[in-house]
Amino acid sequence: MKYTQLGRTGVKVSRLVLGTMNFGPQTDEADSHAIMDAALASGINFFDTANVYGWGENKGRTEEIIGNWFAKGGGRRDKVVLATKVYGNMGTDGEVWPNHDKLSAVNIRRAVDASLKRLQTDHIDLYQFHHVDRLTPFEEIWQAIDVLVQQGKILYAGSSNFAGYKIAQANEAAARRGSFGLVSEQCLYNLVERRAEMEVIPAAEDYGLGVIPWSPLHGGLLGGVLKKQAEGGRRASGRAADALNDPATRAQLQSYEDLLDKHGLAPGEAALAWLLTRPGVTGPIVGPRTAEQLDSALRAVELELSDEVRTGLEEIFPGPGPSPEAFAW
């Protein structure tokens, strides 16, 4: 496994991030523990989750699964850089109370204590804001975060799904307080969806944030979906299925799969390897449902894409370019 610094911090994290969103809803506890053991054995030390994972009546379940894994001992917790998130409503028994979500100091204090209990740990390494809270001022957010840092409950703060200007606002507010500010941004970024290159990634680089792409295979579209469909494999669903109904998208994906087939490359592994070449990227989040999917992701870390392949990928999936050139001159 290869490692890099998380943004401007001194902590070292693996170039792949283990995403745990499937733990509970799609992968049972025993298999989830086996995947985490395999990830740790392979050198992956960066685990990402969120308080709402498990979803619906089971929200919080994913953190519980991870906590039970930590409780097995063997140095599991000490070896992991643990990231979770706050924002979604965590009201129980179908109740939705007005202060059980978003980023008020009231909710941050409540949410971090609840996550620590579920995770069976005394601290969270990276506490991420899952979404922008347009009603809570950053001064209040940083006041709450600074208290948690002083208490030893969290070490670093990160953002997720922030616009570039929100990254700037957040870190300028932190600087005024003498706070450390955001150290990472978790954003939607892959070959198909490259809008983050316009402003989000440049802002992250300028402020010293590590970029953590989520959905690196764009819901499975970049994992060889056309070939899998032709062979009767798992079919795309949701937004991926809708995208495949567009003839232009199907043609683009066919060119992508043909290019990689020509060079003997697995589409999913090539898509991950491409992200690992991108400026500012710490590591993409991979969310394996099975041990086999984890093995495939691990191969991407060692995969070197040739200039011919990288040029071909840029031709098939041209990015927008940085702003303002992306929309002006």
- Looking at per-residue pLDDT, the higher value among 230 and 34 belongs to 34
Contact predicate 127/161, CB 8 Å? no
Q: Name the pLDDT band for 103 (thresholds 50, 70, 90).
A: very high
Q: Which of 87-96, 134-143, 192-201, 264-273 has the lowest mean pLDDT?
A: 87-96
Q: Does 127 participate in catalysis according to the annotation? A: no
Q: Residue 11 in 3-state DSSP?
A: coil
Q: Which candidate in 3, 53, 156, 256 is catalytic?
A: 53
Instruction: Check residue 82 and give its pLDDT.
Output: 99
Contact predicate 21/88, CB 8 Å? no
Instruction: Check residue 115 and give its pLDDT.
Output: 98
Q: What is the DSSP letter of 27?
A: B
What is the pLDDT averaged over residues 35-40?
98
Instruction: Check residue 120 and give its pLDDT.
Output: 98
CA-to-CA separations, 256 to 144, 215, 253, 265, 266, in angstroms, rounded: 46, 17, 5, 11, 11
Instruction: Check residue 243 and give its pLDDT.
Output: 87
Q: Name the pLDDT band for 17 (thresholds 50, 70, 90).
A: very high
Q: Which helix (H) or strand (E) holds 243?
A: helix 238-244
Q: Name the pLDDT band for 235 (thresholds 50, 70, 90).
A: low
What is the Cα–Cα distance from 90 to 100, expressed in whole angstroms?
Answer: 6
Instruction: Check residue 240 and give its pLDDT.
Output: 78
pLDDT exceeds 80 at position 234: no
Q: Give per-residue pLDDT as tens, 257-311.
A: 999 999 999 999 999 999 999 999 999 999 998 889 999 999 999 999 999 999 9
What is the Cα–Cα distance from 280 to 272, expressed in whole angstroms?
Answer: 14
DSSP per position, 99-147: TSSTT-HHHHHHHHHHHHHHHT-S-EEEEEE-S--SSS-HHHHHHHHHH
Domain boundaries, the chain: 3-316
Average per-residue pLDDT in the chain?
96
What is the Cα–Cα distance from 87 to 103, expressed in whole angstroms?
Answer: 6
What is the pLDDT averaged over residues 236-257?
88
Contact predicate 314/277, CB 8 Å? no
pLDDT exceeds 80 at position 74: yes
Q: Name the pLDDT band for 318 (thresholds 50, 70, 90).
A: very high
Q: Name the pLDDT band for 242 (thresholds 50, 70, 90).
A: confident
Instruction: Check residue 237 and give its pLDDT.
Output: 64
Q: Give per-residue pLDDT as tens, 173-208.
A: 999 999 999 999 999 999 999 999 999 999 999 999
Instruction: Check residue 91 and give its pLDDT.
Output: 84
What is the Cα–Cα distance from 146 to 169, expressed in whole angstroms?
Answer: 17
The two tokens of residue 48 are 């990402």
Contact predicate 188/217, CB 8 Å? no
Q: Dump strand ranges (E) for the chain.
A: 3-5, 12-14, 17-19, 46-48, 81-86, 124-129, 154-160, 182-188, 210-214, 285-286
Q: Does domain 3-316 have CATH number 3.30.1370.60?
A: no
Instruction: Check residue 188 and give its pLDDT.
Output: 98
Instruction: Check residue 205 and give its pLDDT.
Output: 98
Q: What is the DSSP letter of 218?
A: T
The structure's pTM equals: 0.96
